[in-house]
Structure 1
């Protein structure tokens, strides 16, 4: 619903304005539905063309979460209501418009600040990753946990995971391991560390700033302001990714997915974070692991637009294959934690089956106009 996204234009000195987009669906941890996507995108388009809007802020109405992902429950229902329809119309509309919004954020000319406090998962990270100014806080918990529901790290994950240090992006995509604020700064998903309680103070400071009629000057102004308000590094939590960087490199160094998955599953150290990651991969969908691995290889030299175009093909094909509906059922509907994956293991996953996910079910790509 449009009312799940609140829009505000706050007056600033000199006749300029601050545009504020607030996700306001606290019961679902601000999970995105199609109406919310359209409301956010519509505001960004209008404000990009409004010379009075100097800076845009994207946040949520609560401290618990920025955005916990997409509304996969509704997507599952839509898929089950039209079995065998490829692409499913609702899934196509959702993913196409979500990826278009994410691409817009990556390429947005005006300063766009995303306040990534609390839970930031899946589609929430799609909103955050491409912004030029990303705040993380002591409450930030970031993850791409698609392996648990028969999807793959999408919303540009094929782009930003490939650009993380070493093979950390591969590890995070395969395991869905959670990251904190220090991790986000280390892997390039965050730019500034501020205390969650400082959000209102930051918004007030932005509203009092002397903005310019030049986007680049405003980017620099926002950067200076956020750096001046940033919390000292001493208050950052320890980075799990940085701490275990060498172990991650060792676990993911093999040339095949089967070897890497076996190495991660066989981790016998005493680090709880790595133990949890290994468990998640072991319980996750083999098809999702294969897609994460294959997308890393196929997108390595693609442009951002090409990445989103390929992700759209794979996303709608995921909805046409059984693991997505089964994963959502096991995790969010019945909550039995016992998904019956098809295939049940990487050993039984055939190349021809994986190839099905990369077949475009249309003659003209819905995102062909991305440049």
Structure 2
């Protein structure tokens, strides 16, 4: 596949020639004005091309990046999702179901891809963008990386595999980040296992060229080659890595997330003496966030740790479609992105008042057979 050469296309695909005759597939999210937010057509084209590259013996690795310097990907196109939900008028959310189904199928493909997938996580990496990065085998962060799952602000939940990666964070960090949407930088991402290496953004092209000079072999050894290359480059740039927040707040995070109920944990987070801006912002997001979302996060962490990766995405698809059918997601997007009054009227404004039966509805499958029933089969 040749480079598209069409700068107006939302996703660009290129095949870089390697010195040994192999090729590296390069994916560029190319909607810089919207911070490379994902549309359904982008997801579909990425899935299709990655499947082609998976079967092409000449392609030895995939490199994902975002156009511009501001973002890898700020998430899904939530405004389009909102408009489709409004059009459905409380009916079956056909567009939402298709979007989430195809998005999760792509995320899963990246997680299990047999060839190295390198993600250049520069700038904003949030929501659906983190879903793409989290599954990559080699995740690189830069001096401007800003990573978060801020769904609590819009009445959704940390999806795109959040159940998987939040549960694998140490000392309650997954629960804390899911409840507060706290933003993390490169150092935090490395601390939490969200990233595998740090490089300055100015080194992107040089690193990509280094990949093309690599001697490639089998998929298994190719993963090792990329790991060794990234480790070497990472060590050379350690002094340029910014200071983080998670490591210095590890004891606090562990302390406030030890409660045996959501109400206890929320109370501990909100009552903790604000020591700096990072903690203060997290408290504000939780305080103003959607109480229903907090309950969904609580169940994700309490009940999702033992799920297989396919079952994680199947469960999250149920939750996502139910969010599209319930009013909180629609109201959260309206308040934050549409009317921008920043005054969402949640159905249950208090964390303690959210009924268990209401939360149960978000885990009730609307189908007899999941649209992702065949997910484990590539």
RMSD of equivalent CA atoms: 1.2
2:74 pairs with 1:68: yes
Q: Secondary structure at the match of 1:13?
A: coil
Shift of 1:98: 0.4
Shift of 1:183: 0.4
Corresponding position of 1:279: 284
Aligned pairs, number: 369
Corresponding position of 1:165: 170
Corresponding position of 1:37: 43
2:321 pairs with 1:313: no
Q: What stretches of structure 1 of length at least 5 have no aligned partner?
A: none
Structure 2: how far apart are the matches of 1:222 and 1:294?
A: 36
Q: What stretches of structure 2 of length at least 5 have no aligned partner?
A: 1-5
Contact preservation (8 Å) 1:11, 1:18: yes
Q: Secondary structure at the match of 2:89?
A: coil
Structure 1: how far apart are the matches of 2:295 and 2:215?
A: 50
Contact preservation (8 Å) 2:36, 2:71: yes
Contact preservation (8 Å) 1:137, 1:194: yes
Structure 1: how far apart are the matches of 2:29 and 2:20?
A: 28
TM-score of the superposition, structure 1-length normalised? 0.97
Structure 2: how far apart are the matches of 1:98 and 1:183?
A: 26
Structure 1: how far apart are the matches of 2:225 and 2:245?
A: 32
Corresponding position of 1:327: 332
Corresponding position of 1:203: 208
**CA deviation profile, 1:123-177 (whole Å, cap 9, x unmatched):** 0000000111000011100000000010000000010000001100100000000
Higher mean C-alpha displacement, 1-10 vs 44-53: 1-10
Corresponding position of 1:352: 357
Corresponding position of 1:218: 222
Shift of 1:323: 1.0
Contact preservation (8 Å) 1:22, 1:59: yes
TM-score of the superposition, structure 2-length normalised? 0.96
Query: Which of 45, 49, 55 is equivalent to 2:61?
Result: 55
Shift of 1:207: 1.9
2:95 pairs with 1:90: yes
Shift of 1:14: 2.5
Mapping of 1:95-244 within 5 angstroms? 95-212=100-217, 214-230=218-234, 231-244=236-249
Query: Which of 14, 22, 26 is equivalent to 1:16?
Result: 22
Query: Which of 341, 344, 349 is equivalent to 1:339?
Result: 344
2:89 pairs with 1:78: no
Contact preservation (8 Å) 2:200, 2:237: no
Contact preservation (8 Å) 2:200, 2:240: no
Contact preservation (8 Å) 1:10, 1:17: yes
Contact preservation (8 Å) 1:8, 1:20: yes
Q: Secondary structure at the match of 1:225?
A: helix
Runs of 4 or more off by more than 6 Å in structure 1? Answer: none
Contact preservation (8 Å) 1:121, 1:144: yes
Q: Secondary structure at the match of 2:246?
A: helix
Contact preservation (8 Å) 1:267, 1:275: no
